[in-house]
Amino acid sequence: MRIFKKYTAFSFVLISVLAIGACKKDKSEDTAPPMLTAVTNLTDRKTELQAVDYGDWILIKGTGLATTQKIDFNGTPASDSLIYAENESITVKIPANLTDPINNPITVTTKYGSATLNFKIKQPLPTPEDFSPAAGVAGDEITIKGNYFKGVTDVSINGVSATIVSSTQTEIKVKVPTGVTYGPVAITTPVGSTTATKTFGIRHFIFEDGFKNNWTNTSYSTTSLDLASTLNTRRGTTAINVTHKAFSAVRFRLVAKFATAGYSMVKISMFGGLGTQGKKVRISLTPTATAYDLVLNEGKWTDYQVPFTNLGNPTSIEYITFQEFSSFASQIFIDDVGFY
Beta bridge mates, 63 = 35
Q: How far apart are the C-alpha atoms of 188 and 148, rounded to whole Å? A: 10
Mean pLDDT across 233-242:
96
Mean pLDDT across 222-227:
96
Give, in order, the Cα–Cα distances in Å from 328 to each of 46, 268, 278, 291: 66, 21, 11, 19
> pLDDT class for 289, splitting at 50, 70, 90?
confident
Q: What is the pLDDT of residue 30?
A: 81
CATH number at 109 reads 2.60.40.10
- Residue-wise burial string across 114-135, b where 16 or more C-beta atoms lie within 10 A, e elsewhere: ebebebbbbbbebebeebbbbb
Domain boundary among 84, 107, 122: 122
Clarify whether residues 102 and 145 are in a common domain: no
188, pLDDT greater than 80: yes
Clarify whether residues 194 and 247 are in a common domain: no
DSSP string, 173-207: EEEPPTT-SEEEEEEEETTEEEEEEEEEE-SEEEE
23 domain residue, yes or no:
no
Query: For residue 243, which of 334, 321, 304 has the smallest C-alpha distance?
Result: 334
Q: What is the pLDDT of residue 29?
A: 79
Q: What is the pLDDT of residue 25?
A: 43
13 domain residue, yes or no:
no
Q: How far apart are the C-alpha atoms of 84 and 283, rounded to whole Å? A: 57
DSSP three-state, residue 150: coil
16 domain residue, yes or no:
no
Check residue 124 and report its DSSP letter: P
Q: Which residues contact 238 (CB under 8 A, 6 or more apart)?
A: 209, 210, 227, 228, 229, 230
Clarify whether residues 280 and 335 are in a common domain: yes
2, pLDDT greater than 60: no
Clarify whether residues 167 and 262 are in a common domain: no
**Per-residue model confidence as pLDDT tens digits over 57-100:** 999 999 999 999 999 999 999 998 899 999 999 999 999 999 99
Domain boundary among 160, 178, 200: 200
Mean pLDDT across 322-330:
95
Q: What is the pTM of this model?
A: 0.79
Mean pLDDT across 221-245:
96
Check residue 49 and report its DSSP letter: P
Q: What is the chain's mean pLDDT, rounded?
A: 91
Number of folded domains that form the chain: 3
Q: Which of 2-6, 160-164, 295-299, 319-323 has the lowest mean pLDDT?
A: 2-6
131, pLDDT greater than 90: yes
DSSP three-state, residue 7: helix
Q: Which residues contact 218 (CB under 8 A, 6 or more apart)?
A: 251, 252, 253, 319
Mean pLDDT across 30-53:
94
Q: What is the pLDDT of residue 3?
A: 36
22 domain residue, yes or no:
no
**Per-residue model confidence as pLDDT tens digits over 303-321:** 999 999 999 999 999 999 9
11 domain residue, yes or no:
no
Clarify whether residues 54 and 109 are in a common domain: yes
Clarify whether residues 219 and 327 are in a common domain: yes
* C-alpha dihedral (164, 167, 170, 173), degrees to nearest 10: -40
- Phi–psi pair at 79, nearest 5 degrees: -65, 135
> pLDDT class for 176, splitting at 50, 70, 90?
very high
Clarify whether residues 209 and 193 are in a common domain: no
Amino acid type, 309: T
Q: How far apart are the C-alpha atoms of 281 and 324, rounded to whole Å? A: 5
129, pLDDT greater than 70: yes
Clarify whether residues 86 and 100 are in a common domain: yes
29 domain residue, yes or no:
no
Domain hosting 181: range is: 127-200
Half-sphere exposure of 304 (CA within 13 A, CB side): 26
Burial of 290 (C-beta count, 10 Å sphere; 0-12/13-18/19+): middle
Clarify whether residues 110 and 210 are in a common domain: no
CB 298 within 8 A of CB 274: yes
**Per-residue model confidence as pLDDT tens digits over 143-175:** 999 999 999 999 999 999 999 999 999 999 999
DSSP three-state, residue 108: strand
Clarify whether residues 115 and 181 are in a common domain: no
Q: What is the pLDDT of residue 116?
A: 97
297 domain residue, yes or no:
yes
Q: What is the pLDDT of residue 27?
A: 56
> pLDDT class for 28, splitting at 50, 70, 90?
confident
CATH number at 236 reads 2.60.120.260
Clarify whether residues 115 and 157 are in a common domain: no
63 domain residue, yes or no:
yes
Clarify whether residues 223 and 162 are in a common domain: no
Domain boundary among 181, 200, 219: 200
